[in-house]
Amino acid sequence: MDMLVEQTHEVDTFDSEGERHIRFTDTRVDEQERRVSIKAVPMSLVLESGNGKSYLCNIMDTPGHVNFSDEMTAALRLADGAVLVVDAAEGVMVNTERAIRHAIQERLPIVVVINKVDRLITELKLPPNDAYFKLRHTLDTINDLISSCSTTVGGTQLVDPAAGNVCFASGSAGWSFTLQSFAHLYLKIHGIQFDHEKFASRLWGDLYYDHNSRTFKKKPPAAGANRSFIEFILEPLYKIYSQVVGEQQRILEVTLADLGVTLSNAAYKLNVRPLLRLACRSIFGTATGFTDMLVKNIPNVKDGAARKIEHIYTGQQDSSIVDAMKKCDSHGPLMVNVTKLYPKPDCSVFDAFGRVYSGTIQTGQTVRVLGEGYSPDDEEDMTVKEVTKLWVYQARYRVPISKAPAGSWVLIEGVDASIMKTATICPMNMDEDVYIFRPLRFNTLPVVKIAAEPLNPSELPKMVEGLRKISKSYPLAITKVEESGEHTILGTGELYLDSIMKDLRELYSEVEVKVADPVVTFCETVVDTSSMKCFAETPNKRNKITMLAEPLEKGLAEDIENGLVSLDSRQKEVTDFFRQRYQWDVLAARSIWAFGPDKQGPNILLDDSLSVEVDKNLLNAVKDSIVQGFQWGAREGPLCDEPIRNVKFKILNANIAPEPLHRGGGQIIPTARRVVYSAFLMANPRLMEPVYYIEIQTPIDCVSAIYTVLSRRRGHVTADVPKPGTPVYVVKHFYLS
């Protein structure tokens, strides 16, 4: 991002004295101190393509640390495509796999930037031939992951440098290129009249250049011949680096002159890093290849709207609202999806960041803010607010605007009061029912918990208000009050919680806070079918519900959580999923009432009663109440009030009072919860402990020591393999906290 900012702003993002980048999108003090991104930050940049056209690109720079993957989730919801940045030396990591899987689940096209290519030269000191195989192995691994994820979600184009969806770069040295942009540069330097697209298609794979016949061949023309990528790209790149680092000025001047570059005498007196950066920028120019890759492979806001709306909008797809959003119509009804909240400089209130899918949002406009619990039948989670200010958010500064049309990313003031995580913004008066955009679906769970209390008990209200702001600021953070009265915070890991506590102390509450040692949350499950049918009667003795509990099929809970099946889909799609993947019969698949404890929870409630024994009309009349009781029970299990997981609850029988007065929610909901508990306890219940998955990169002589340390922490090694192209081993393991 620093390289793109430098090319579009009059600012130097490289600190010559410290010889490092200023990290323009790391706007927090702790991000600069830790040298790690914590928050996703948007920027709108005008980037120039190879043919001289300019494109407005909305880019969200997201953290790469696995603890902050929730920021990536919020960013992907607003995007039309994903740029996957992979370290050339480290290759595919755990969070890379998660990012690929999540982007495919969001139906987004993926392009790849292999960054820090110069590490293969300066750190690993690989020969050009080995560097090629290292890059090829990284791309093959990415394609394997894309293929495995696409089999269940849908087709996604594989990445291939020859196809133009892979960019090679070094952010620290300030250069980037695709095969197409490099081919154009090569032909321009040598004054050759040839189609650069055809030339680029021959610069990757097992192709060799025959200097005698001046053609590319699939077999080496002579013993020891190098592939075209090595000969035309890697060897010149190695030559530039080696001469900047180790050769005399005279030799370097000749080499740069051959490439059409002339530097001043003062430039040659710079240290190696600034000189290398200046030389590479002079040779490769601006990131036109990166822009061309985005334009070619990622749809614009109009072309990508239809696919996105079908995936994220919960309403019917045949409405006029959906039609306007699919056309990205600025004159249609206003629809904005808010996924992030950013604090004001004084941290008193928040501004909402979202994408305008249709209509135009303006300052002074009165809008409805729909929360995640809103539906046309239940408008409780809805407030009316006035838009007081609008900005284009540019990381370290904001550009005020008066209105934002469809397709824009916009920062909104005045609407945050009722928003906790995400929201839908729509006009005051609509001719048809408005539904919300689907809440965010995260690829991990907040399983690490800490308890906090103020050092001075009288400052408890300040801390509670600070916790409310923490919940707004961190998409995956959960703050709640236990029955004991203690305030707990749930996050994804220790770094995540450490960042939360720093914000709580210094930004949102400004009080001294005591924190207990972190612990992990548990889940409750069963390992057998209920030993007997369990029933519960309502307090008025007019209704009776009978249930059975049993474990779900292996892998089904994960599929539900990953969004491979949703009850919002058509009935035929749900039936086909369960019938084909888990061999359910059609009747059972059609009898599913709900997932729990939320819409994509890892438990299932289904109606397994017979119509000859149960009055289906009366049962369906109390369906919503039974589902609420099931959700309540699944959210707080009977063993230790922890969520239930991987359990199927079957309704076997139900005697429901015919009079509506005797089967109200006050009677049915707690009864449904009690019968869920009874069936659960009779099915051999167990507690589940979360598993922490870790990858450790280490020299080979330290592997045995790591085994020793892991064994003391109940760790289990799942793989112990060398990292291709590096002198380190990768130890993959998990342990129970």
pLDDT per position as a tens digit, 263-311 = 888 888 888 888 888 888 889 888 999 999 999 999 999 999 999 999 8
Q: Check for a shared fold between 448-521 and 691-736.
A: yes
pLDDT in tens, 418-452: 999 999 999 998 888 999 999 998 888 899 999 99
Measured CA to CA, the distance from residue 574 to residue 587 in angstroms comes to 12
Place of tokens 């990166």: 290
Provide the pLDDT for residue 299: 94
The mean pLDDT of 8-24, rounded to a whole number, is 67
Measured CA to CA, the distance from residue 503 to residue 29 in angstroms comes to 11
pLDDT for residue 231 is more than 80 = yes
- Torsion from C-alpha of 84, 89, 95, 99, nearest 10 degrees: 20
Provide the pLDDT for residue 551: 96
Q: Which of 381, 455, 394, 457 is nearest to 420 (CA)?
A: 381
pLDDT in tens, 631-645: 999 999 999 889 999
Provide the pLDDT for residue 45: 92
Q: In sequence order, which residues have a C-beta less than 8 Å from that of residue 447 and are 6 or more positions away?
A: 490, 492, 520, 521, 690
Q: How many secondary structure helices (H) and strands (E) does the chain include?
A: 25, 35
Beta bridge partners of 59: 43
Percent of the chain with pLDDT over 90: 62
pLDDT band at residue 496 using 50, 70 and 90 as cut-offs: very high
pLDDT for residue 474 is more than 90 = yes
Q: Which of 473, 505, 470 is nearest to 488 (CA)?
A: 470
Type of residue found at 730:
V
Across 349-394, the runs of DSSP E, i.e. the strands, are 350-358, 361-362, 366-370, 382-386, 389-394
Provide the pLDDT for residue 430: 84
**Measured CA angle at 11 (ends 7, 12), to 5 deg:** 85
Structure tokens of 154? 């849908």
CATH assignment, 2-297: 3.40.50.300
Q: Which of 692, 734, 689 is nearest to 716 (CA)?
A: 734
CB 424 within 8 A of CB 482: no
pLDDT for residue 313 is more than 70 = yes
Structure tokens of 226? 């190098």
Angle between helix axes 235-246 and 249-258 (nearest 10 degrees) is 150
The strand order across the sheet containing 366-370 reads 382-386, 366-370, 423-427, 335-343, 350-358, 409-413, 389-394, 397-401
Across 116-252, the runs of DSSP E, i.e. the strands, are 166-170, 175-177, 208-210, 215-217
The mean pLDDT of 166-191, rounded to a whole number, is 91
Domain 691-736 has CATH 3.40.50.300: no
pLDDT band at residue 737 using 50, 70 and 90 as cut-offs: low
Q: Which of 71, 98, 66, 93 is nearest to 495 (CA)?
A: 66
pLDDT band at residue 15 using 50, 70 and 90 as cut-offs: low
Domain boundaries, the chain: 2-297, 306-427, 448-521, 525-688, 691-736
Beta bridge partners of 166: 112
- pTM score, whole prediction: 0.88
Provide the pLDDT for residue 720: 85
The mean pLDDT of 14-40, rounded to a whole number, is 78
pLDDT for residue 193 is more than 70 = yes
pLDDT in tens, 357-386: 999 999 999 999 999 989 888 888 899 999
CB 526 within 8 A of CB 688: no
Rg of the chain over all Cα atoms, to the nearest angstrom: 29
- Fold category of 525-688 in CATH: Ribosomal Protein S5; domain 2 (3.30.230)
Type of residue found at 286:
T
Measured CA to CA, the distance from residue 83 to residue 44 in angstroms comes to 15
Domain 448-521, architecture per CATH:
2-Layer Sandwich (3.30)
Measured CA to CA, the distance from residue 176 to residue 161 in angstroms comes to 13
Point out the least confidently predicted range of 145-154, 216-225, 283-292, 307-316.
Answer: 145-154
- Torsion from C-alpha of 505, 509, 514, 519, nearest 10 degrees: -80
Provide the pLDDT for residue 17: 56
pLDDT in tens, 43-74: 999 999 988 899 999 999 999 888 999 999 99
pLDDT in tens, 81-109: 999 999 999 999 888 998 998 999 888 99
Provide the pLDDT for residue 467: 94
CB 504 within 8 A of CB 467: yes
Provide the pLDDT for residue 18: 52
Provide the pLDDT for residue 359: 95
CB 549 within 8 A of CB 648: yes
Q: What is the DSSP letter of 505?
A: I
Question: In a 10 Å sphere around its CB, with 0-12 CB exposed, 13-18 middle and 19+ buried, how is residue 393 labelled?
Answer: buried
Structure tokens of 333? 């009804």
Q: Which of 81, 62, 83 is nearest to 73 (CA)?
A: 62
b/e 78-111 (16+ beta carbons within 10 angstroms → b):
bbbbbbbbbbbbbbbbebbbbbbbbbbbbebbbb
pLDDT for residue 152 is more than 60 = no
pLDDT for residue 711 is more than 90 = no
Paired sense of beta strands 403-404 and 335-343, if any: unpaired
Average pLDDT, the chain: 90
CATH assignment, 306-427: 2.40.30.10
Provide the pLDDT for residue 429: 86
Structure tokens of 136? 């090829």
Provide the pLDDT for residue 4: 85
Helices (H), 474-540: 494-503
CB 491 within 8 A of CB 521: no
With H, G, I as helix, E, B as strand and everything else as coil, classify residue 619.
helix
pLDDT in tens, 587-635: 999 999 999 898 889 999 999 999 899 999 999 999 999 999 999 999 9
Provide the pLDDT for residue 94: 85
